[in-house]
Amino acid sequence: MLLLNRSVKLRLGASLGLCIAMVIVIGLFALWGLSTGNQKMRGTYDRNVVTMEDLGRVSNLLLRNRVLTLQAQRDKNVETLGQLHQVLAENDAEADEAWADYYPERVDSDAEKQLATQFQTALSSLRADLDEQYEAMMRGDFQRAQEISSARLNSGYTRVLDTINQVVELNRQQAGTAYVSSTADYERARALTLGAIALAIVIGVGLSIWLTRGIMTPLGKARALADALAEGKLGNDINITCKDEFGDMLRSLQTMEERFSSVVLTVRRNAESVDLAANEIAQGTDDLSRRTQEQAASLEQTAASMDEITSTVRQNAENALAADRLVNDLSQQASSGGEVAQKAVEAMGASTLPVGKSLASWG
What is the C-alpha to C-alpha distance for residues 340 and 363, in angstroms, rounded to an integer?
13
Question: Are 124 and 99 contacting, i.e. CB atoms less than 8 angstroms apart?
Answer: no
pLDDT of residue 263: 75
Tell me if the pTM is above 0.85. no
What backbone phi and psi angles, to 5 degrees, belong to 352?
A: -135, 115
pLDDT of residue 363: 42
Chunked into runs of 10 residues, the chain (363 residues) has average pLDDT values of 61 80 85 85 89 94 94 90 92 95 90 94 94 93 92 94 94 91 88 89 87 76 75 69 68 74 77 78 75 70 70 71 68 67 65 46 42
What backbone phi and psi angles, to 5 degrees, belong to 243?
A: -115, 20
What is the C-alpha to C-alpha distance for residues 14 and 19, in angstroms, rounded to an integer?
9
Q: How many whole angstroms from its chain centre is CA 208?
A: 11
What is the C-alpha to C-alpha distance for residues 299 and 196, in angstroms, rounded to an integer?
107
pLDDT of residue 293: 75
Residue among 42, 158, 43, 163 nearest 99 (CA): 163
Could you report how far apart the first and last alpha carbons of the chain are, in Å?
147
Q: Name residue 336's amino acid.
A: S
Question: Are 197 and 26 contacting, i.e. CB atoms less than 8 angstroms apart?
Answer: yes
pLDDT of residue 296: 64
Question: Are 145 and 133 contacting, i.e. CB atoms less than 8 angstroms apart?
Answer: yes
Q: How many whole angstroms from its chain centre is CA 217?
A: 16
